[in-house]
Structure 1
Amino acid sequence: MRRRSPLSLDRIIERMAAFSAPRHRDLVRAMVSELQSIADPAERKRFAVGAIAAIVRLALSRYSGTIVHPGRFLGIPEPEDNANLGGPSMPKLSTQQLLSRHVTPFAVAFALLTALQLANFAARQLPQLSARGVSAGTLLEALLLAMPFTMALTIPMAVFLAVSWVFTRLGVEGVLAAAQRERHGVRRLIGPVLGAAAVIAALTFVSNTQILPRTNARLAAVLADTPVERTDRSMTLGELREAARNALTDAGPDAAALAVAYEVEIQKKFALAAACLVLALAGATIALRFPRGGIGLVIGASGVVFTGYYISLVAGEALADQQLVAPFVAMWMANAILLAIILLLSWRSGGPGGRSMEILAIGG
């Protein structure tokens, strides 16, 4: 048997296959197999040169973001725009099917998180109410009135849990890998999810600005067993804006602090609603970065994200109350930090111009 030269064309292609990107490796190995089956020297040389050029272009496309079809070098018709290279096609998931997979995880996560928050509230407040001899109806009313302010946090958290769980399952099923190989595959997955998250964000905003202030006012009266003066947390959005304007024109010693407190509450209502979108994007990004993480990834990432987000929110509010930072910066700091982490994870996952960066260019 004739020994191949270390510089033979098929040996060169084999060496290049070992250093190819994982998503192109199967395609390059197929080129090697095809090359070895060609007997005619001239045809073999033509195919080898075309294969080497295709491999180089594939390597360059990883950094330039250019979609390269190696078939043009090998005399093979180019695939359609939505075709993928070196792997199975992305399973066809309709928007309805994709979103329906999020319904149960979202409902379960929302119910559990809200129940935990209400249990914490009950442990702190109900003993005091019971000591005053209030009726069972009043205790139940207090729990129901506490739901809107717990939902302000549990809804965004449930969105994150649902998206990260579903996308992790899609990773295990191979859907994410196929989507990353296809042109606009990631966008087709994340687009409907962000659309649904936007709807949830809008509903959360309405709840935070209209329902929450009224229930907070009633809850404060129930807990105090007497009418109480309205505060920034028991004012609607319009009332907060009017109060902030009045505080700015007031010459009193506490006018500046009051204006800041009102503005903080205004920005918080917007930021918590927007968190539904940011956390949905975070859940999808983490799943794309670690597609086979499983339930351990979902639980671990949830703990880190929720803790970090809450600390950033509380710290921002404290800094704003001390007038060290602007209310807008203070309340949007948590979302900004999370978006920066999303950008970093997307860049690390796909590289500059990589497929995973599509998650940050939904509208393109």
Structure 2
Amino acid sequence: MATVNKLRDRRKPKKAKQLNVSNRPLLALVPSISIMDRYLSYEMIAPFMFGVGAFTSIALAIGSLFELVRLMTDAGLDLWSAIQIFGLRLPGFMVYSFPMAVLLSTLISYSRLSSDGEITALRSCGISVYRLVGPAIALSLIVSGLTFAFNEVIVPSANWQAKTTLRTALNEDNPLFKTNDIFYNQYGDIVYPDGRVESGLVRSFYARRFDGTQMIDLTVMDFSQGSLQQISVAKSAFWLTSQNVWQFNDGTTYIISPDGSYQSILSFEEQRLKLPRAPLDLAQEQRSSDEMNIRELSRHVELIRQSGNIKEERKLEVRLQQKYALPFICLVFALVGAPLGMRPQRTSTALGFGLSVLIIFGYYVLLFICGALGQVGIIAPLVAAWLPNIICLSIGGLLLSRVN
């Protein structure tokens, strides 16, 4: 009898333990993810990974692999250096593949759902088109953050290291600074003898050579009073960090009178002048915009602005604004790919890949045109960087409204 009672006790269902939510208030702060959101997200992960691999491979083959093979056969680049350069260039190409992969994943996944009638079933349950693209927008924002992080932390240093490795492997001169013809024009307020104040060229700085420590064969012209007032010529000069001044050595100062003749000529062995440090910063900076993050590029733009090189300033300003705008291509492509995939026609992987390439080509043509317009001054650099995103976002919104 005791054995029977034990068996009965074992067969009785045990009461489920209740979760005391009151003791775990943090759970209420975590937003719940619906089954639909998880399902749509899982559908996009595989095409996204495929897109990253496919687009990165194509870009690497076209942009780097062929060049490295040519350098190995023609210039004697060794295999180990080629492998290093190939790996260092990989993050830069991956950054461009992220938005393309977002477009491909949204296009293929939503097309598959549409062709199988799942989009129709979800909409029959009262779910709107705008709610259906929520997971695509969430994925695109995550990838946008990843793209921005790559562009800021990994890509600039990797590109610079790849360039340095290539020059070292080919036994080329690899100076970390500009060696010849350092120009710097300082602009500011000019005080005329009659008391008028205007903005214009204050001082012009030129050095024939730079050895990494000191400037050699310098000429500095002073226009602080509207006309040429003084010319200083020196064999060498270097920057005194402790005093924030330039020390000129073995030179001559020519004082110019208002009629253009020499008023006096003063020779010196050593003279300290309170001039900007900008010529030294310009000479030491030899990286391109792809090898600098936003903070470094902003500082370089400011130096170029002070030097008065308007053309270079516009070019770098457009590139700086594009560093902010380009990560959001992921959001743009998600809003374009999702409604295109919801069409009744089924889109295979091959067709989706081809359609993605066409859309990407059109976007980058638009980006190139807007960038060129910004560099020549027709439109502002901010507009030049963001206009392609705004146009494509408008197209994506129009496609969504038509699908809805």
> What is the TM-score normalised by the length of structure 1?
0.65
Q: 1:205-284 alignment to 2 at 5 Å?
A: 205-225=148-168, 226-227=174-175, 229-248=286-305, 250-252=306-308, 254=309, 256-284=310-338
- 1:287–1:113 Cα change, 3 Å: same
Kept after mapping to 1: 8 A contact 2:114/2:343? no
**1:319 — aligned with what?**
373
C-alpha displacement at 1:325, in angstroms? 2.0
Q: 1:300-339 alignment to 2 at 5 Å?
A: 300-339=354-393
Q: Root-mean-square deviation (CA), in Å?
A: 2.1
Whichever residue aligns with residue 399 of structure 2, its letter is L
Give the number of the structure whose alpha-carbon radius of gyration is greater: 2
C-alpha displacement at 1:218, in angstroms? 1.4
**1:132 — aligned with what?**
75
**2:129 — aligned with what?**
186
Q: Which whole-Å CA distance do the structure 2 matches of 1:296 and 1:148 have between them?
A: 26
Kept after mapping to 2: 8 A contact 1:289/1:346? no
- Provide structure 1 residue ranges, at least 5 long, that are not aligned to the other structure: 1-91, 350-355, 357-364
Q: Which whole-Å CA distance do the structure 2 matches of 1:320 and 1:125 have between them?
A: 33
Kept after mapping to 2: 8 A contact 1:264/1:327? yes
**1:32 — aligned with what?**
none
Kept after mapping to 1: 8 A contact 2:52/2:98? yes
- Provide structure 2 residue ranges, at least 5 long, that are not aligned to the other structure: 1-33, 169-173, 177-285
Whichever residue aligns with residue 337 of structure 1, its letter is I
- 1:203 equivalent among 146, 153, 158: 146
| Residues 1:144 and 2:87 are matched in the alignment | yes
Q: Which whole-Å CA distance do the structure 1 matches of 2:354 and 2:75 have between them?
A: 41
- 1:346–1:94 Cα change, 3 Å: closer
| Count of residue pairs the alignment pairs up | 256
Deviations 1:294-347 (A, max 9, x none): 446523421321110111122222222222222222222221221122123233
Q: Which whole-Å CA distance do the structure 2 matches of 1:257 and 1:155 have between them?
A: 31
Q: Which whole-Å CA distance do the structure 1 matches of 2:77 and 2:349 have between them?
A: 43
C-alpha displacement at 1:291, in angstroms? 5.1
- Structure with more of its chain in strand, by fraction: 2
Deviations 1:183-216 (A, max 9, x none): 3433442212211221111011011122111112
> What is the TM-score normalised by the length of structure 2?
0.59
Please list every run of at least 4 consecutive aligned residues from structure 1 whose deviation after the TM superposition is greater than 3 angstroms.
179-185, 289-297
Q: Which whole-Å CA distance do the structure 1 matches of 2:365 and 2:68 have between them?
A: 23
C-alpha displacement at 1:143, in angstroms? 0.8
- 2:50 equivalent among 98, 108, 116: 108
Q: Which whole-Å CA distance do the structure 1 matches of 2:82 and 2:117 have between them?
A: 49
- 1:326–1:126 Cα change, 3 Å: farther
C-alpha displacement at 1:172, in angstroms? 1.0
- 1:172–1:278 Cα change, 3 Å: same
Kept after mapping to 2: 8 A contact 1:217/1:234? yes
Kept after mapping to 2: 8 A contact 1:179/1:186? no
Percent identity over the alignment is: 29
C-alpha displacement at 1:224, in angstroms? 3.2
- 1:327–1:182 Cα change, 3 Å: farther
Q: Which whole-Å CA distance do the structure 2 matches of 1:218 and 1:148 have between them?
A: 12
Whichever residue aligns with residue 141 of structure 1, its letter is Q
